[in-house]
Structure 1
């Protein structure tokens, strides 16, 4: 009768090559999927120092924010949809304000060449509609 020698349990190891391949594939997927979507309206954002930008950043909810863009020609866009007049802007914002739970966050993207009066008009309409959680989108100032 031939006796078999037992193999110690620690010498048996699963092949982890395929698991590492899957992990790298998932990692690449999440990196690509988490990229911020570029805005369809190009604007030249104002610059602030990184400390001011960090203090201005906040999270008022998990819903998608409403993006309002004012370009260099003072044209207003709400989530890439052009607002033809102040009344149309009010209608667009009212429809989006009721579309989500609670007070939706609004991100204002204003070109440096836009008039300040246009920005004041937008903020007044936001107040009328009841959207009070407003953030300004800016770029970080580069030190020379």
Structure 2
């Protein structure tokens, strides 16, 4: 669920970024155009003289307008709601993994299930070749093989 919600949140963020663009404002600094992505950056990049005060006010207004467009589109496509749902699902998955690690396995299947949970949560991709992922997959296969042998033997 967390992975599915993460992909949905990323899809919506990509849609917002492509249609609205991340909130920003542009100023001229030393003859070059500079894009700033927060009010803190805007306020920190300009001095205190009257020319900079006007440039700062214009940049802040530009940023606020861009942020308002982002917020309106966010409300329409529900990006923030998707992001919140993804965070909640990730927190729930983390709590379940913690509970799983604290629960003793009583069978080989239980041991395999715990290793499989570690594998699914930790490895960057299903065919990750870096240590320890191939070794963990090998242990899970060994446990499955031993369990099958016990069932048939």
Q: TM-score range by the shorter chain?
A: under 0.3
Q: Which has the higher strand share?
A: 1
| TM-score (norm: length of structure 1) | 0.23
| TM-score (norm: length of structure 2) | 0.22
Return the structure number with greater relative CO, CA threshold 8 A, min gap 6. Answer: 1
